[in-house]
Amino acid sequence: MTWNVLISAPYMIPVIDRFRPWFAEHDIEITVADVQERLEESDLLPIIAKYHGIVCGDDRITKAVIDTATNLKVISKWGTGIDSIDSAYAASKGIPTGRTLDAFTQPVADTALGYILCFARNLPWMDKMMKAGVWDKIPGRALNESTIGVVGVGCMGSAVLRRAKPFGARLLGNDIREIDPAFVAEMGVEMMDLDSLLEQSDFVSVCCDLNPTSYLLFNDARFARMKAGSVLVNTARGPVVEEAALVRALQSGRIAGCALDVFEHEPLPKTSALLGMDNVLLAPHNSNSSPKAWERIHHSTLKNLLDGLRG
């Protein structure tokens, strides 16, 4: 039997030719989607019925898509997060969702700490001023004078804490589940409720999954709780932060700045007020950049695809 598979994962598409012999070996005929960031429900509904499998990124695989996908045997997510997939409903229809846990922990944690250092040491802004011919010594701070709060102490949050510890910062953590006491003791991290963390942190690193408890977790009320002059770093999921509320907090001076790799709406609309703010650092959902990690995810995703097709 020949399996028909849709490839819509943006990070796999550029190297797809390298895997064509593998697809041929396993009687898989692929269709490569024309996709920039993700396929929406409206993109998938007209085409999904003919496919036995999909290798997806953050495609919106909803109940309606699953109901239409009468031949679908497996959803293989390139990466970890499956919040854009109604995986529970898919499972009820006998369609497994494969993913790779702990896929990008190391590069994403590097990015989070990099952003914290940029704000602590004012590196991007001194560079900009020097290139404009302005010799001005902007005051910074050392991390051992700072408090770093991590929201979500899972794989990524733990990795951020491990990176921050040698700098001597005071470390705070928050999670909806109990964290291993041995890790807490090793890191010297103070676990506390979210509001207390926000009130005390100079830098808040968002590292939690997107789920019903974290959707728009950072809203007007939460920004009002944040320490005056603090900085928000989000390398987790965009909809954890309500961007309109974030813009208000930045414009009012309630918080001093933010760094965002992910956004409530992606790609970031060209009309976003964030694009015109000097105290904001932005990246196009790219903190997972790592050739080593990408290669591992390519092979893991294809294994999950084949396992699902074979049942």
Catalytic residues: 237, 266, 285
Provide the token pair at 286: 């790219």
The answer to whether 309 and 53 are in contact (CB under 8 A) is: yes
Helix (H) or strand (E) holding 158: helix 155-164
Residue entry with tokens 């590292």: 207
CA torsion 7→262→155→250, rounded to 10°? Answer: -170
Count how many Cα atoms sit within 13 Å of the Cα of residue 175 in the half-sphere of its side chain: 21
CA dihedral 185, 178, 109, 245 (to 10 degrees): -130
Closest-CA residue to 60 (of 14, 99, 8, 12): 8
Strand order, beta sheet including 74-77: 28-32, 3-7, 53-56, 74-77, 97-98
- Please, which residues have CB within 8 angstroms of residue 5's CB and are 6 or more apart in sequence? 23, 28, 29, 30, 31, 51, 52, 53, 54, 55, 305, 309
Would you list the DSSP string of 183-195?
Answer: HHHHHT-EE--HH
